[in-house]
Structure 1
Amino acid sequence: MLENIRPYIDLVSNNRDYRRLWLSQIVSNFGDWFGILAVYALITRYSDSEFLLGLIIVVKMLSLASFSPFAGYLTDRFDRRRIMIACDLLRGLLVACLLLVVSYETLWLAYVLTALQMMLSAVFEPAKTSSIPNVTTKEELVDANVLSSASWSIIFTMGMGFGGLATAWLGTDLVFIIDALSYGLSAWFIYGAVIPQEKMSEKELHRTRNPLVGIKEGFQYLRDNPQVLRPTLAKACFTMFLGALTYMLILVSEEVLLMGSVGLGLLYASRGVGTGIGPIIGRRIFKQESGWIRAMGFCMMFGGLMYAVVGWTTSLVVMLVFVFIAHAASGANWVMSTVLLQRRTPDTFRGRIFSTEWLLFTVAQSISVMAASWILENGWLTIQQTMIIFSMLLSLAGVFWHQTLTQDEDHYQEGVEDLTTAGTVDHA
């Protein structure tokens, strides 16, 4: 067991700059999940409208999606370390301002503050992900991303649990104060880190002084470099159907298991643990990075089949096992696509590429949830039938991935091998 985790212990122990970036992620992610239930509680306290409660989720998603292209431009053009510190401090201030929501008349402020907070998160996340290759060696990069994914999963599970208890026992005001302080601590960790970054040339800075030009160049880079476009699409293709399946776990707990929040907590805990362990398992199974695009298709097919069992069964134990396995596949897909993007994208484009990936992911997830909720709202299918259909569609997406993107990747890898062989011959 110790041998399996030794690379991650060594990474955190020996790489000071990555350690501080990683600790920043842990603290800020905990604050994100710790405070989200308090926002929901705030809305339900001053309104009994289901629409207003659902609206806050829509606001979060749309704010992330709409600001992502501009966020990527910022993280490529300016110093990412300073950007992350500024984002943390501003997010802490915005969360603290939620204390001003004290009545139905001031409830609108929660939506405005949440939208601004998510816009800053849209900047912070690509800046952080783009910085990981700059504070790790080539050999450390995969371990760094596996550890980052596993940490997110653990914090997701713990943050939601502690956040719910804290909201009930301490009240929303104290939760918002703790959340705001967590962002300050995150900024302090980043402040003490050295994060190198390749700067744009004077020519590039002048050419992209108009943000629209810089954003356009990012999209053009993806169009002209299909080896980068393929891993950029991986998360969006997965969540196009997994987003709906994860959303339906809420309804499964309520209407199939009849366990309410207790069942949901268990299912989401299984999801979080699976997402964390999946990249570790995936790394042992898919050892060659040249085969990772193919592996992503397998993960989609496998994850869909696992969720088909979840839709079919009425046993909590069986659901927990297969939710865990499905999200292990999702977690492996997440880390493999992230590492390939980090390796294949130049530093001066990395922020725009990761923000585009986040945009596609967010839009795909929104469409997925809206489609499933519309089907269920109109009573066209039962929850279990809808879950089985979306799980089959996820598996079919994996098949389609194999018939298209995997074939293109194979041709790309053949070209890489030819160039390597030619270089070896020339050197000889």
Structure 2
Amino acid sequence: MTTAVPAPDNKKVFRHLYQLTAGKTISDIGNNFDMVALNMFVYLLTDSAVYMGLFMAVRLAGAFVAGFYAGILADRMNRKHLMILSDFGRSAALLAIVFTPADYQFYVLIPLTFIMGCLSTLFGVCLQSSIPAIVGKENIVKANAVLTAWGSVAMVIGLFGAGMLLGKVSYETVFLIDACTYVVSALNLLSIPLRTSEERTAAAKQENMSFFSEFKLIYVYLRTVPVLLSLMAIRLIDTFGSAAHNVGMPVFSAQLKPDQPSFYMGIIWGVWGIGNLVGSRIMAKKFTGNDTSVNERAFGIATFFMSLFFILLFFESPIYIILLFAALAGIADGVSAIVYATRLQQTPDEKRGRMFGVSSTLQTVGFAVGMVICSPLFEIFKPVAVVGILHGLPMIMALMFTLYYFGKWKPGRRAVKTENSHDVA
């Protein structure tokens, strides 16, 4: 059996977690800065929305390609070292853009953007699969809540801070700032004594296998735990809705206040971020995550309400009603993300990286397909109709999932707990 990493000193464990989160938050702000700045930089260089769309597709392609391989690497190598490599790699890519002569910048953007997409996925997969080893299985919900809360803060600061920053300094200066945030994160990781993998028996240590053998290994495992397949399928469809509300928010804000769309969009996202913080705080205080059946039930319910509140948000209501739904959507979104990560972290350590790798790949595919589907629809229909369609799908799936498994969770609670012990063994 795999021996769980002990957590003899919770204060020390969480001090390390908070230090890790601080560094990650700084790099997340930089990551959101460069998402905005690079998109605008491509548009400035080419004066073409088509090229900007191609650029975004390349970054998503990097995340897609890296997804499953990142999981394999996370299960075979030192996850902390991979996260440090990812941070330094992203910093180097941004510096390469800055120091490339202006006439050649466009030509280096595509490969470097692909690399950044790969490295961002590698970092995320390694971090998420490391949490049980870092804090102990009894603390993973609290750890996920901390990471989710500060991730939402970084998103709000990064997306809207980038807009203000670009109005005052050059693109190259923003890229240099972004590069520095990744270096800070890497140096922060170097300074923390983290153990990111659990002890394994010789039988659990896999020999190098081909890609298809690796894929078969995970496919066979997922078939033995079909509820994980259901969770991943819902998360995949949920990214359709994420694409819809991300693309639709600027359109909706322009309808609310044509002369100040960015102001309204900032308020809505800011309130969503506050809701996310509240949801994360509630989870950290009230939820243990020890029972897989509770995680699965909470995921279905939270995903249903998250989609519902996002749909209601896009109705043309008074601003205080819109902000109420934004806050509720943020709460449900935070809960959904935490219980989903917690359930995947209950898989065995030697397979956990692959689980997050597969999940990352599916979510990248879902978001890309959602972007392709919803972008032209906003030219034809009102935002509420488009968001209603793309968020309606995961809402229905989450409801069906909850109703289907509800009978299995309740009478089979003991059996589910047995499965849980098998998962984390």
Q: Residues 140 and 167 (structure 1 numbering): CA distance in 2 closer, same or farther, change over 3 Å?
A: same
Aligned counterpart, 2:354: 352
Contact 1:68 1:356 in 2 (8 A): yes
Aligned counterpart, 1:306: 309
Contact 1:11 1:144 in 2 (8 A): no
Aligned counterpart, 2:423: none
Report the secondary structure of 1:139's partner residue. Answer: helix
Q: Residues 392 and 68 (structure 1 numbering): CA distance in 2 closer, same or farther, change over 3 Å?
A: closer
CA deviation after TM superposition for structure 1 residue 330, in Å: 1.4
Q: Residues 387 and 226 (structure 1 numbering): CA distance in 2 closer, same or farther, change over 3 Å?
A: closer
Contact 1:87 1:123 in 2 (8 A): yes
Distance, in Å, in 2 between the alignment partners of 1:24 and 1:402 is 37
Q: Residues 284 and 83 (structure 1 numbering): CA distance in 2 closer, same or farther, change over 3 Å?
A: closer
Aligned counterpart, 1:366: 368
TM-score with structure 2 setting the length: 0.87
Report the secondary structure of 1:92's partner residue. Answer: helix
Q: Residues 142 and 285 (structure 1 numbering): CA distance in 2 closer, same or farther, change over 3 Å?
A: closer
Matched letter for residue 331 of structure 2: A
Report the secondary structure of 2:135's partner residue. Answer: coil
Aligned counterpart, 1:160: 159
Distance, in Å, in 2 between the alignment partners of 1:50 and 1:419 is 50
Aligned counterpart, 2:142: 143
Aligned counterpart, 2:109: 110
Contact 2:67 2:122 in 1 (8 A): yes
Aligned counterpart, 1:273: 274
- CA deviations 1:129-172 (Å, max 9, x no partner) are 11111111333221111000001011111122222222221211
Q: Residues 135 and 312 (structure 1 numbering): CA distance in 2 closer, same or farther, change over 3 Å?
A: same
Matched letter for residue 275 of structure 1: N
Aligned counterpart, 1:6: none
Q: Residues 301 and 225 (structure 1 numbering): CA distance in 2 closer, same or farther, change over 3 Å?
A: closer
Distance, in Å, in 1 between the alignment partners of 2:317 and 2:37 is 31
Distance, in Å, in 1 between the alignment partners of 2:412 and 2:71 is 27
CA deviation after TM superposition for structure 1 residue 267, in Å: 2.2
Q: Give identity over the alignment, percent.
A: 23
CA deviation after TM superposition for structure 1 residue 231, in Å: 4.1
Contact 1:240 1:364 in 2 (8 A): yes
Distance, in Å, in 2 between the alignment partners of 1:315 and 1:208 is 59
Matched letter for residue 329 of structure 1: A
Structure 1 gaps of 5+ residues are 1-9, 421-428
Report the secondary structure of 1:125's partner residue. Answer: helix
Q: Residues 265 and 204 (structure 1 numbering): CA distance in 2 closer, same or farther, change over 3 Å?
A: same
Distance, in Å, in 1 between the alignment partners of 2:103 and 2:378 is 30
- CA deviations 1:103-152 (Å, max 9, x no partner) are 46531322221110110111111111111111113332211110000010
The answer to which of 90-99 and 53-62 deviates more is 53-62
Contact 2:141 2:288 in 1 (8 A): no
The answer to which of 33-42 and 391-400 deviates more is 391-400
The answer to which of 19-28 and 135-144 deviates more is 19-28
Distance, in Å, in 1 between the alignment partners of 2:398 and 2:236 is 12
Report the secondary structure of 2:314's partner residue. Answer: helix
Distance, in Å, in 1 between the alignment partners of 2:162 and 2:96 is 18
Aligned positions of 1:22-421 closer than 5 A = 22-100=21-99, 103=102, 106-196=105-195, 197-198=197-198, 207-258=207-258, 259-282=260-283, 289=291, 290-342=293-345, 344-377=346-379, 379=380, 381-410=381-410, 413-416=413-416
Distance, in Å, in 2 between the alignment partners of 1:106 and 1:149 is 35
Distance, in Å, in 2 between the alignment partners of 1:370 and 1:419 is 39
Distance, in Å, in 2 between the alignment partners of 1:62 and 1:136 is 32
The answer to which of 39-48 and 104-113 deviates more is 104-113
Matched letter for residue 267 of structure 1: I
CA deviation after TM superposition for structure 1 residue 201, in Å: 6.2
Q: Residues 367 and 183 (structure 1 numbering): CA distance in 2 closer, same or farther, change over 3 Å?
A: same
Distance, in Å, in 2 between the alignment partners of 1:418 and 1:224 is 13
Report the secondary structure of 1:15's partner residue. Answer: helix
- CA deviations 1:55-91 (Å, max 9, x no partner) are 2222222211122011111111111111111111111
Report the secondary structure of 2:192's partner residue. Answer: coil
Distance, in Å, in 2 between the alignment partners of 1:199 and 1:285 is 30
The answer to which of 298-307 and 228-237 deviates more is 228-237
Q: Residues 408 and 62 (structure 1 numbering): CA distance in 2 closer, same or farther, change over 3 Å?
A: farther
Report the secondary structure of 1:175's partner residue. Answer: helix
CA deviation after TM superposition for structure 1 residue 335, in Å: 0.2
Report the secondary structure of 1:135's partner residue. Answer: helix
Contact 1:29 1:152 in 2 (8 A): yes
Distance, in Å, in 2 between the alignment partners of 1:277 and 1:236 is 25
How many residues in Structure 1 have an aligned counterpart in Structure 2? 408
Matched letter for residue 78 of structure 1: M
Matched letter for residue 270 of structure 1: V
TM-score with structure 1 setting the length: 0.86
Contact 1:245 1:387 in 2 (8 A): yes
Report the secondary structure of 2:160's partner residue. Answer: helix
Report the secondary structure of 2:216's partner residue. Answer: helix
Report the secondary structure of 2:378's partner residue. Answer: helix
